[in-house]
Chain A
Amino acid sequence: MSIQPVLLWSDVLLFVLMASIGGLSLWARRQDALRAAWARVARNPVAMSAATVLAAFVLIGLLDSVHYRARLPAQPGAETRYSVEVNSALDAVLADLRQRAEKTYSAPLATHLFAKEALENSAQREFPRLKFGGAHLGADLAAHEFDIAVRVSRGCAAGMLLWLLMASLWCRLADLELIATLKQLREGNQGSGAGNPATGAVFVTLLGILLLLGIAISLGGGYHVFGTDKVGQDVLYLSLKSIRTGLLIGTLTTLVMLPLAVLLGILAGYVGGWVDDLIQYLYTTLSSIPGVLLIAAAVLMMQVIIDTHPDWFATSAERADARLLALCLILGMTSWTGVARLLRGETLKLRELEFVQAAQAFGVGRFAIMRRHILPNLMHIVLIALVMDFSGLVLAEAVLSYVGVGVDPSTISFGTMINTARMELAREPMVWWSLVAAFAFMFALVLAANLFADAVRDAFDPRSSA
Chain B
Amino acid sequence: MTILSVRDLAIHIPPGDFRPGAGIARPVDGISFDITPGECFALLGESGCGKSMTALGIMRLLPIAARAVAGTVNFEGRDLLALPESGMRDVRGGGIGMIFQEPATSLNPVLTVGRQIVEALELHSAMRGQAARARAAELLDQVGIPDPLRRLDEFPFQLSGGLRQRVMIAIALAGEPRLLIADEPTTALDVTIQAQVLDLLDDLRRKQGMALLLITHDLGVVARMADRVGVMYGGQLVEEAPRAAFFSQAAHPYSVRLFAALPDAKRRGGRLATIPGSVPAADVRHLGCRFAERCSEAVLACAATPPPWRVVETGQRVRCHLPGAAPAALPQIGAGAAVLAIAARPLLEVSDLQVHFPIRRGILQRAVGAVRAVDGMSLQLMAGRTLALVGESGCGKTTAGKAMLQLIRPTAGRVQLDGVELTTRSAAELRPLRAKMQMVFQDPFASLNPRLRIGDIIAEGMQALGTGAMGANGSMGDNGGDTAAKVGPLLEQVGLRADMVDRYPHEFSGGQRQRIAIARALAVHPQLLICDEPTSALDVSVQAQILNLLSDLQRDLKLAYLFITHNIAVVDYLAHDVAVMYLGRVVERGTADEVLRQSRHPYTQALLAAVPRIDGLGPLVVKLAGDMPSPANPPAGCHFHPRCPLADDACRRDYPPERRFGATHAVRCIKA
Chain A positions near chain B (C-beta within 8 angstroms):
32-33, 353-355, 357-365, 368, 372-373, 376-377, 379, 462-464, 466
Contact = CB atoms under 8 A, between A and B. Distances in A.
A358 B464 contact: no
B66 to A, nearest CB: 17
A32 B476 CA distance: 17
Contact of A462 (B402, B437, B504): B504
A361 B449 contact: no
B18 A357 contact: no
A459 to B, nearest CB: 13
Contact of A357 (B402, B427, B502, B504): B402
Interface in B418-443: 427, 430-431, 434, 437-439, 441-443
Contact of A355 (B402, B405, B448): B448
- Choose among A33, A357, A361, A363 the residue with the greatest number of B CB atoms under 10 Å from its CB: A361
B628 to A, nearest CB: 23
Contact of A373 (B449, B465, B517): B449
Interface string B311-340: 000000000000000000000000000000
A464 B18 contact: yes
A355 B520 CA distance: 11
Contact of B438 (A355, A361, A376): A361
B434 A377 contact: no
Given A358-B439, A463-B450, 10 more contacts: A353-B446, A354-B446, A355-B449, A357-B407, A358-B517, A359-B460, A363-B464, A364-B464, A368-B464, A376-B452
B272 to A, nearest CB: 25
Contact of A354 (B442, B465, B506): B442
Contacts of A463: 450, 506
A462 B450 contact: yes
A358 B465 contact: no
Contact of A361 (B405, B442, B452): B405
A377 B449 CA distance: 8
B630 interface: no
A368 B412 CA distance: 29
A377 B453 CA distance: 13
Contacts of A364: 460, 464
Contacts of A360: 407
- Choose among B19, B407, B449, B506 the residue with the greatest number of A CB atoms under 10 Å from its CB: B449
Contacts of A377: 449-451
30 contacts: A33-B453, A354-B441, A354-B442, A354-B446, A354-B447, A355-B447, A355-B449, A357-B407, A357-B441, A358-B439, A358-B521, A360-B407, A361-B439, A362-B460, A362-B465, A363-B430, A363-B431, A364-B464, A372-B452, A373-B449, A373-B452, A376-B451, A377-B450, A377-B451, A379-B451, A462-B504, A463-B506, A464-B18, A466-B19, A466-B506
Q: How large is the interface on B (under 10, 10 to 19, 20 to 34, 35 or more residues)?
A: 35 or more
B524 interface: yes
B461 interface: yes
Report the 4 A-B pairs with minimum CB-CB distance, sorted nearest first. Answer: A376-B451, A354-B447, A363-B431, A354-B441
Nearest to B503: A462
Nearest to B453: A33
Interface in B448-498: 448-453, 457, 460-461, 464-465, 476
A365 B460 CA distance: 11
A362 B434 contact: yes
A363 B461 CA distance: 8
Nearest to A355: B449
B159 to A, nearest CB: 24
A362 B461 contact: yes
B423 to A, nearest CB: 16
Contacts, number: 74
Contacts of A372: 449, 452, 460, 476
A408 to B, nearest CB: 43
A32 to B, nearest CB: 8
Contacts of B405: 361
A285 B325 CA distance: 75
A353 B438 CA distance: 16
Given A358-B517, A360-B407, A361-B407, A462 B451 contact: yes
A110 B649 CA distance: 101
A463 B41 CA distance: 36
A32 B504 CA distance: 13
A365 B431 CA distance: 10
Contacts of B438: 361-362
Contact of B449 (A363, A365, A376, A464): A376
Contacts of B502: 32
B446 A355 contact: yes
B457 to A, nearest CB: 8
A357 B439 contact: yes
Contacts of A373: 449, 452
A358 B452 contact: no
Interface in B508-554: 517, 520-521, 524
Nearest to A357: B407
A464 B507 CA distance: 11
A362 B524 contact: yes
Contacts of A464: 18
A33 B503 CA distance: 10
B357 to A, nearest CB: 14
A359 B431 CA distance: 12
- Choose among B19, B457, B460, B517 the residue with the greatest number of A CB atoms under 10 Å from its CB: B460
Given A368-B464, A466-B19, A361 B434 contact: yes
A32 B453 CA distance: 12
A358 B441 contact: yes
A462 B441 contact: no
Contacts of A358: 439, 441, 447, 517, 520-521
A353 B517 CA distance: 14
Nearest to A32: B502
A363 B453 contact: no
A197 B405 CA distance: 52
Contacts of B431: 363
B605 to A, nearest CB: 33
Nearest to B441: A354
Interface string B373-392: 00000000000000000000
A379 B524 CA distance: 30
A197 to B, nearest CB: 10
A462 B507 CA distance: 9
Contacts of A33: 453
Contacts of B427: 363
A274 to B, nearest CB: 13
Contacts of B437: 361
Nearest to A378: B451
Contacts of B18: 464, 466
A250 B641 CA distance: 66
Contacts of B457: 355
B21 to A, nearest CB: 10
A330 to B, nearest CB: 34
A401 B403 CA distance: 58
- Choose among B427, B450, B504, B524 the residue with the greatest number of A CB atoms under 10 Å from its CB: B450
A363 B432 CA distance: 8
Contacts of A357: 402, 407, 439, 441
A353 B448 CA distance: 9
B451 A354 contact: no
Nearest to B431: A363
A379 B448 CA distance: 17
Contacts of A361: 405, 407, 434, 437-439
A25 B427 CA distance: 39
B433 to A, nearest CB: 9
Interface string B298-311: 00000000000000
Contacts of B453: 33
- Choose among A353, A355, A466 the residue with the greatest number of B CB atoms under 10 Å from its CB: A355
Contact of B464 (A32, A362, A379): A362
B630 to A, nearest CB: 21
Given A358-B441, A361-B434, A462 B506 contact: yes
